[in-house]
Amino acid sequence: MRRYSGWAATAVLLALLLIVPAWSQRYVLSLFTLAVITALLAVSVNTLAGEAGLVSMGHAGISASAAYAVAWAVRDQHGLATQLLLALLVTVAVSALYGITAMRTSGLVFLMITLALGVMVYGIALKWSKVTGGQSGLIGIRRPESLLDPWAFYYFCLAILAVTLVALWLFGRSPLGLSFRGIRDSESRMTSLGYATPAIKFAAMMLSGLVAGTAGVLAVWNSQFMSPSAAAFEVSAMAVIIIIIGGVGAPLGPIIGAGLVVGIEHWLSSYVERWPTLLGLLFIAVVILMPRGVAGVLWDRRDGPGSTLPATALLRRSGGVRPTPKPPADAVTPRDLTDVRGHHQKGS
């Protein structure tokens, strides 16, 4: 039965994403569009976290850089090809900077470095106003003619998301994709097997960066406006919480997580004034109460390709801590862990 539950869930989700917007009003469509684009950014973070075990808190820096590239190209009245080429170049350059800086670290240090990089991109966007328009941002960005219709744009974004997920799934079965997972499960084992782990992590960052850049391009086409807030720490942190909600490593997790977060934000922020406070409390509640995420609680608990990885299995080996075997996939909660307090510190 379980074998089919994943497929059934995929079918339901796909049907929902395909059918609902077609019949709904403009503002529901805009929510769906936002959720799909947000999901794509979360997919890029999920690729690094789920496949390579590296949690980035700075991916908004990459997506925003790509978005700025599109904004510059549009401002200078370049065509679609130039926009995309420039976005690609900037994405590759920024991802390479992220990769070079962070590839020799893992765990919490990786998280801190990517966070710092993301905040730096934000700071540069804010201060380098000659190029970025500073706080007031860049206006007058139009998406390509054929995507001007909001429904056409939504289905375009959905298609990009679907293609990305399939491509990443195929990639996950390639030798390089498998080596990502090898790093996630035990970096020291990979090193002793003769793999150049920094190079593999660099490749993982580049792959994930490309997805983030794509999300950035779609985001700026969607908002048709670019400001530093696209690179804000909140955006990066949101992507991480989305993959926690969706279940780290679950291929469809980012869609579920993004849908929930965008939906809740829309629903609550019309009633409550202090939305960021509620968002923060929501973060804390999710992390403490359901660290395996909604997807992890609902479905698939098998180990192996495509299964959700409990967030409790991530980030256990930073700071010279010896890698621990992945805990059994069922019912690992932080409360269980308090009973074996400190066991992962052994040998540090």
Partner 1 sequence: MSLGYLSTQVLNGLSFGALLFLLASGFTLVFGLMRVVNLAHGAFYLLGGNVAISVTAATGSYLAGLVTAVVVTALVGLVSERLLLRPVRNNELLEVLVTVGLAFVIADLCLWAFGGNPRSVPLPEFLTGSVSLGSVTFPKYRLVLVILAVAIAVGLKLIQSRTRIGTVVRAGVDDRETASSLGIDIERVFTLLFVFGAALAGLAGVAAAGILTMRPGADTEILLFALVVVIIGGLGSIEGAALGSVLIGLIDAFSRLWLPELSYFAVFAPMALILVLRPQGLLGKAV
Residues that bind partner 1 (CB under 8 A): 55, 57, 97, 100-102, 104-105, 107-109, 111-113, 115-117, 119-120, 122-124, 127-130, 232-234, 237, 240-241, 244, 274, 276-277, 279-284, 287-288, 291, 311-312, 314-316, 318-321, 334-335, 337-338, 341-346, 348
Beta bridge partners of 226: 138
Closest CA to 215 of 72, 68, 39: 39
Please, which residue, 115 or 183, has the CB nearer to partner 1?
A: 115
**In the complex, what is the shortest distance from the CB of residue 168 to partner 1, in angstroms, rounded to a whole number?**
21
Please, which residue, 187 or 217, has the CB nearer to partner 1?
A: 187
Please, which residue, 35 or 57, has the CB nearer to partner 1?
A: 57
CA 222 to chain centre: 18
Residues comprising the chain, all counted: 348
Measured CA to CA, the distance from residue 37 to residue 131 in angstroms comes to: 25
Please, which residue, 80 or 287, has the CB nearer to partner 1?
A: 287
Closest CA to 325 of 296, 300, 306, 346: 346
Contact 150, 29 (CB under 8 A): yes
**Which ranges of 76-149 does DSSP label H, i.e. alpha helix?**
80-102, 107-127, 129-132
**In the complex, what is the shortest distance from the CB of residue 239 to partner 1, in angstroms, rounded to a whole number?**
12
**In the complex, what is the shortest distance from the CB of residue 218 to partner 1, in angstroms, rounded to a whole number?**
25
Measured CA to CA, the distance from residue 162 to residue 201 in angstroms comes to: 24
Please, which residue, 123 or 140, has the CB nearer to partner 1?
A: 123
**In the complex, what is the shortest distance from the CB of residue 54 to partner 1, in angstroms, rounded to a whole number?**
11
Closest CA to 98 of 131, 66, 133: 66
- For residue 136 the two structure tokens come to 């007031």
Measured CA to CA, the distance from residue 50 to residue 43 in angstroms comes to: 10
Contacts with 230 (C-beta within 8 Å, 6 or more apart), sequence order? 60, 63, 64, 67, 216, 219, 220
Contact 38, 261 (CB under 8 A): yes
**In the complex, what is the shortest distance from the CB of residue 3 to partner 1, in angstroms, rounded to a whole number?**
29
**In the complex, what is the shortest distance from the CB of residue 198 to partner 1, in angstroms, rounded to a whole number?**
9
**In the complex, what is the shortest distance from the CB of residue 311 to partner 1, in angstroms, rounded to a whole number?**
5
Please, which residue, 186 or 312, has the CB nearer to partner 1?
A: 312
**In the complex, what is the shortest distance from the CB of residue 217 to partner 1, in angstroms, rounded to a whole number?**
24
Contact 57, 233 (CB under 8 A): yes
Please, which residue, 47 or 312, has the CB nearer to partner 1?
A: 312
Measured CA to CA, the distance from residue 105 to residue 107 in angstroms comes to: 7
Please, which residue, 29 or 115, has the CB nearer to partner 1?
A: 115
- For residue 160 the two structure tokens come to 């990009």
